[in-house]
Structure 1
Amino acid sequence: MKIKIDTPLVTVDWLKHHFNYENLIVLDCTIPKVTSKLKSTSDMQILGAVYFDIKNTFSDQNANFPNTVLNPKEFEKKAQELGINNDSIVVCYDNLGVYSSPRVWWNFKLMGFDNVAVLNGGFPKWKTKNYPTEPKQQHKLTKGNFVVKYSPTKIKYTDNVLSQLKDNHIIIADARSKGRFYGTEPEPRVDVKSGHIPNSKSFPYTSVLKEGVLKPKEELKLMFQKINPDYKEFIFTCGTGITASILALAAELSEFKKYAVYDGSWTEWGSSKNVPIEI
């Protein structure tokens, strides 16, 4: 039996119930967390999971900044190599609960693929239920027929953000900590200046999570309505585009559909010349 999905977030119970559906692909999207000493790797994975390598396979290796998205054709090729088809249902998870998996969810949304969701609570939540796991391994994959239908409204670049700084129809929300936003704590990358994009608002990604799980939908709605009562378009930014994608996921769940992620985020802005910075 094949399934489709109509939500950007699924529970571990949902995944276990649909575990044997033929078009299901579970992606392990784990990456190290640059701002934490917490261990984000494991020698175990969800049974049958496929590793989605954000850093080395699904980021532009020739780009000046980390985690830069691939061009659509290259993404299409790499996704096919993971066995992903046009009718696949893709569930993304990571080993920190909800951290890097939303970045992969957003990548697929950017590429025009909607049958994708994040596993709420990720691998830690899966393990608490004693659901099936296995040692880390790469399964033999059959090439898929996935085709990109690129959605450029989901992404912003430095020039876009710079030109929209004073646009009253847009809210720039920064997912970094308040300390990084206000320059009271250093950036994890020594060559990046401190501060924030002018006219942006601090919206730490940690505020939408509780113990590695995304907060309930109604609670998230209230948070987004407070920062954006008029349902303006969001531009989400962070350090390198990872945690901005958590806000994008929370926005989607909260029915704020008009949003984009600033791909270069603060690492690019804070490294650039001739752009304004506020502290």
Structure 2
Amino acid sequence: MLSFVGLGLYDEMDVSVKGLAAIREADLVFAEFYTSHLAGATPERLAEFYGKGVRILSREEVEVSPEGWIGEAREKKVAFLVGGDPMISTTHLDLRLRALRMGIVTRIIHSSSIVTAVSGLTGLQNYRFGRSTSIPYPYVASGKRIVATSPYDVVIDNLHRELHTLLFLDIQPDRYMTVSEGAALLLEMEEMAGEDRLKRGLGVGVARAGSDDAVIIADWLPRLADRDLGGPLHVLIVPASLHFMEAEGLVTLAAAPPEILDEAEP
């Protein structure tokens, strides 16, 4: 049996009762924390809380050669831990399909996810979100700084459809992307495209969702690029036109500029 266990948003306390039982009953416990991780907990704290040793898998062990640890589930109870809710990442679906092809029984134990939490935190309606995307850090190739522009294309396509965009921000072993960095990169992508729609648009930053010191800030994107929301993890939202309740929610919950109320739709 291979159990995919979601750990929730922030720390070791976010796991469900069902998830905790599955972890404690498991013979082996593995985890990956590169698609998401619990900013409020360390692997040591997780192991102490679960009463189980947790082996953190490398990206290669998850994406390239997972057959070894997945194969343990033929004869043993294996728990695979992920931040947020399992199967939000296509990586996890790939692992489940591999396991099923190997004749291994699988199950999913769900937990809270940033995908749904942003609606409650910001007041933006869940049904109005379009395709989500990720903003990666720029990289250098042949001595040239490369900025991926596909996130900008997703945002603009959603705006044309009057849909909000949730942008996941890059997580690397030695750093995490902040809301200010993500907003600045979006504006850079827009400048590269020779357009100026986002320069006049709103952005919403969410930091440390699920924690007692979560921060939710809405501001014009150029100003958001200068805001410090503190420690990880961060996500960025680019809203489309707002229903009046969404606008009121952003003003009340995220200190958005009050003038957005004048432009909201009835």
Range class of TM-score, shorter chain: 0.3 to 0.5
TM-score by length of 2: 0.34
Larger Rg belongs to: 2
Greater helix percent: which structure? Answer: 2
- By percentage of residues, which structure has more strand? 2
